[in-house]
A and B are shown apart, each in its own frame.
Chain A
Amino acid sequence: MREVLCELIRKPKNGEYLEIRLERIVTTHVRIHNGLVEKARVVEEQGGSVRILHPKTSWWFLSFQGWDDLEEKVEFGLRSAALLPESTTGVVLGEAFEDEVVFSPDEDFREKPLGEKVRLLLEYARLVQEASPYVVSSIVEYRDEWRSVYFANSEGTVLFWERPDISLSFVATARSGDTIEVYRDGVAGKAGFELVRRRESLAYKVGKQAEALLWARSFPGGVYDVVLDPVLAGVFIHEAFGHLSEADFLSRNERLQRIMVLGKSIASPVLSVFDDGSLRNLRGASPYDDEGVRTRRTYLIKEGCLSGRLHSRETAFLLGESPTGNARTISYRFPPIVRMTNTGIEPGETPPEELFADIERGLYAIEYVGGNTALELFTFSPAYGYVIEHGRLGEMVKDIVLSGNLFQTLGKIDAVACDFRWTEVGWCGKGAQVGLPTPTGSPHVRLREVLVGGQGYA
């Protein structure tokens, strides 16, 4: 295949930028629902894409199934791209790489018989169900995916990489009368089958926690001081700031560029935020991005000041900056776009317990259900929380959604603790590309005066 690709990337004769991607994905997915194998499926997908930027016109992209007739596809693309409307864009080219990135996990999940996977999951399902008599429904969901990708571009880069991804999640629904509560947790990683072994205590915890939510009180809406745990703080920074640092939002928007000018003070000096696609073996990591650019660490905020943004080759061209290795695609079916990789808040120096000390009445918000963003506005939901009263943790609460405005909320972070941890289960959707692994990492963080939407009334 290497030879074929080397041949094809020499086709452009008029200064076109050409990328070819060939992909094979094998997925196993098992879903155990109330102790029954509700779904067991294996999917084998083979496809590819050709992407061309004509120097005078614009982007042309074709995705297809199978790996046949590649030469015809490239030639058709070169002819078609020349006929598109004119546009002013370009790409930053750089170093060409030839590389093979293979992965050898401790326990290769491709070699495990389906029966072995199912037996382990049924055992977990039993634990979720037995954790509480109130659990009316339990789901154990397992997914493994082995992706092999050939990538080549007209710059002369020819890459082959393997990317395994494995995840296990537990969902328990507890019910008492008309009150229904759902709690979920899980693990995910760029790893082998070893990642999903020995998760008995997590399965049990999920069942217990769903029951606990039944007895928790709804948290009243209002404006509160909030301490975020590392899991939720990671989601917060992804939603509240990460998306706006994706340069495609502002590469053609001059007013937004003036607002997001590098060097501007945007948060309190305790806050530093980074994105790093080069961290080994995190789910968002790989040596190269999906445009063949080396990944690296980019500081988005350094001590409260805007210090960088995330680029593809095109947004780097439009803004006169350097690519950062953040062009990612969920599969050959889509062109790469600017995405986060592994995003985190850098730990500070305060011990976490000190963050609670001076809060009269507030909220300790823990783990997450989800998050969403529309540029400056964002919402994110903890799985549950505890009331903070006079600096101490009080009763457990639920039904909480936090909302904020980028320009106001970052300035309200006034303390960052010294503990730090990565959460790998997170994924992100942007446009039609949903399900991209985007780990987040953070220590405990304190926010002042956050708008909390709640069900109960104060």
Chain B
Amino acid sequence: MLEVLRIAKEQGLEADLFVQKVWSTHIEYEAGMFKGCTTEERMGCGLRVIRSDRRLGFYAFTPPFTPQEVVERALEVSAWGEPVEFPLPSYPSTTEWKDFVDVRLENITVQEMVELGSYLLEHLRTTHPDVLVNVSITVGEEERALYNHHEEDIRFRRTFFRISAEAFRVQEDDILTVYAERSWGNRDIDVEDLLREIQVKLDLAARVVSVPSGQYPVLFTPQGCMVFLHPLLYGLNGRNIVFGKSPLRDKFGKVLFSSLFSLLEAPREPWALGSCPFDDEGILTPGERVLVEKGRLEDGFWDLWSASKAHRKTTASGFRRSPWELPEPSFSVLKVKNGLRDRETLVEEIEEGLVVDSLLGLGQSNVASGAFSCGVQLGFYVKGGEIQGRVKNVMISGNAYDALKNIKEISRDFQWVQGSMLIPYVLVEPIQVDAAK
């Protein structure tokens, strides 16, 4: 790898090389039956070069490769690249960060994963004999390394652990799907909590009830909150702001949302997936930073490119979806600040409304404007403070930015979504609900 950078330097180029290695093992149960085991060994490399006229080129590759050739390919691409206004940075000299590697995950056997899967299935089979369950368990380790033309290199390793269960209940012309997942960087996933979530959802969903179309208060579960967080994250993305596609471009420092709503990024959160000592451009991450403070918009996500265009500082937000991709602004670990009262109390206080857990068609609406219109995949009708049953063939619509304004309450209890977003239950009023005849 260092050879690639040495050659680039000799040719008078600025360069950085991102190398990601992933080893993972995955097992799957389908409808309660063991389906198989999948193992992946992956390595990908992405080379950025910047010529003396500041034009940027990118070439990505897998082994086997010859260092001379990859530099030449990146250089060929750079002939057509746009001049960039940032230099490729020097890496932090501190090596004091800790890798998030759990030896219990490094040493886990397929047999142990199989036993865990059977445990989940056995329990659900006992409590809910009428459902079929798919279980998927993944354990793995990842290394991200960066090398640059200053002949510096930094690296970071982490383990990851993901468990998900999907339960199906089929009755005459009714197919219920209930899903729950837990993802974390170490072995400490609370399997009992996952089981409870599936069981509670199945029980609440047993009865199908109808809801008349209208405007209601809606309590979004942590997973359900993605309906407004997704457009907000789009709006906070530095690239979208630079290209004029974000409605938030000139709104920093202004109060836009309910004072109950605060959003933080916590890149060093121990064991959360997404936590990292540096981003994929080698910028050291801060301990914690504020994006929204009591409804006031404070900051967005800026990678080197968008920060230079907007004359701002990078926020260590340059992440790559894969080694084949250039960095783009994104988040490491997010936290929505929680409230004071628990979710049960919030439900009890709803005279008539919905609890919405999962939605169909997120991102299918106009994400830029914040408009959403989604099918409710799993949602419950509340009357007189009690959940009456599951709603079917219902859609909710509105605007994410209005919903963030109309937050009436946020719960004390919260949950990690995909291991990287800590989100409470959020009550929004009103939300338009349309039901099929």
**Are A453 and B374 in contact, with the CB atoms below 8 A?**
yes
The 8 A CB mask of A346-379 against B (1 = contact, 0 = none) is 0000000000000000000000011111111111
**Are B82 and A84 in contact, with the CB atoms below 8 A?**
no
Given contacts A65-B63, A80-B37, A457-B432, contact A375 B177 (CB under 8 A): yes
Cα A60 to Cα B26 with chains together (Å): 10
**Are A369 and B34 in contact, with the CB atoms below 8 A?**
no
**Are B34 and A43 in contact, with the CB atoms below 8 A?**
no
Cα A145 to Cα B329 with chains together (Å): 26
Task: Give the Cβ gap from A272 to chain B, nearest Cβ, in Å.
Answer: 22
Task: Give the Cβ gap from A137 to chain B, nearest Cβ, in Å.
Answer: 5
Does A407 lie at the interface of the complex (its beta carbon under 8 Å from any beta carbon of B)? yes
* Interface Cβ pair total, 8 Å cutoff: 253
Does B244 lie at the interface of the complex (its beta carbon under 8 Å from any beta carbon of A)? yes
Does A320 lie at the interface of the complex (its beta carbon under 8 Å from any beta carbon of B)? no
Cα A38 to Cα B434 with chains together (Å): 41
Task: Give the Cβ gap from A183 to chain B, nearest Cβ, in Å.
Answer: 10
Residues of A within 8 A of B77 (CB): 40-42, 114
> Which of these binds chain A: B146-154, B356-364, B416-424?
B356-364
Does B182 lie at the interface of the complex (its beta carbon under 8 Å from any beta carbon of A)? no
Given contacts A59-B35, A256-B170, contact A376 B60 (CB under 8 A): no
Does A310 lie at the interface of the complex (its beta carbon under 8 Å from any beta carbon of B)? no
Q: Chain B: which residue is nearest A400 at the CB level?
A: B373
Does B212 lie at the interface of the complex (its beta carbon under 8 Å from any beta carbon of A)? no
**Are B396 and A453 in contact, with the CB atoms below 8 A?**
yes
**Could you tell me which residues of chain A, from 39 to 65, have a CB within 8 Å of some CB in chain B?**
39-47, 58-65
Cα A457 to Cα B437 with chains together (Å): 17
**Are A381 and B36 in contact, with the CB atoms below 8 A?**
no
**Could you tell me which residues of chain B, from 306 to 362, have a CB within 8 Å of some CB in chain A?**
324-326, 360-362
Q: Chain A: which residue is nearest B40 at the CB level?
A: A63
Task: Give the Cβ gap from B254 to chain A, nearest Cβ, in Å.
Answer: 13
Cα A68 to Cα B76 with chains together (Å): 29
Cα A420 to Cα B129 with chains together (Å): 46
**Are B61 and A44 in contact, with the CB atoms below 8 A?**
yes
Does B105 lie at the interface of the complex (its beta carbon under 8 Å from any beta carbon of A)? no
Does A281 lie at the interface of the complex (its beta carbon under 8 Å from any beta carbon of B)? no
**Are A374 and B399 in contact, with the CB atoms below 8 A?**
no
Given contacts A399-B373, A401-B373, A453-B434, contact A60 B37 (CB under 8 A): yes
The 8 A CB mask of A94-128 against B (1 = contact, 0 = none) is 00000000000000000000110010000000000
Interface size class of B (residues with CB under 8 A): 35 or more
Does A421 lie at the interface of the complex (its beta carbon under 8 Å from any beta carbon of B)? no
**Are B42 and A252 in contact, with the CB atoms below 8 A?**
no
The 8 A CB mask of B354-380 against A (1 = contact, 0 = none) is 000000111111101101011101000
Residues of B within 8 A of A248 (CB): 30
Residues of B within 8 A of A182 (CB): 245, 366, 368
Residues of A within 8 A of B435 (CB): 451
> Which of these binds chain B: A29-37, A156-164, A197-205, A225-233?
A29-37
**Are A137 and B244 in contact, with the CB atoms below 8 A?**
yes
Task: Give the Cβ gap from B167 to chain A, nearest Cβ, in Å.
Answer: 12
**Are B79 and A115 in contact, with the CB atoms below 8 A?**
yes
Cα A148 to Cα B35 with chains together (Å): 29
Does B180 lie at the interface of the complex (its beta carbon under 8 Å from any beta carbon of A)? no
Between A and B, 18 residue pairs with Cβ closer than 8 Å are A33-B243, A36-B82, A40-B80, A43-B61, A58-B34, A62-B38, A64-B40, A85-B34, A87-B33, A137-B244, A173-B243, A259-B170, A372-B364, A373-B360, A399-B365, A399-B366, A401-B395, A455-B399
Interface residues of B (CB under 8 A from A): 30-44, 57-64, 73, 76-77, 79-82, 110, 114, 132, 168, 170-175, 177, 213, 243-245, 247, 324-326, 360-366, 368-369, 371, 373-375, 377, 392-393, 395-399, 432, 434-437
Closest 6 CB pairs of A and B: A59-B36, A252-B31, A453-B395, A379-B361, A453-B373, A401-B373
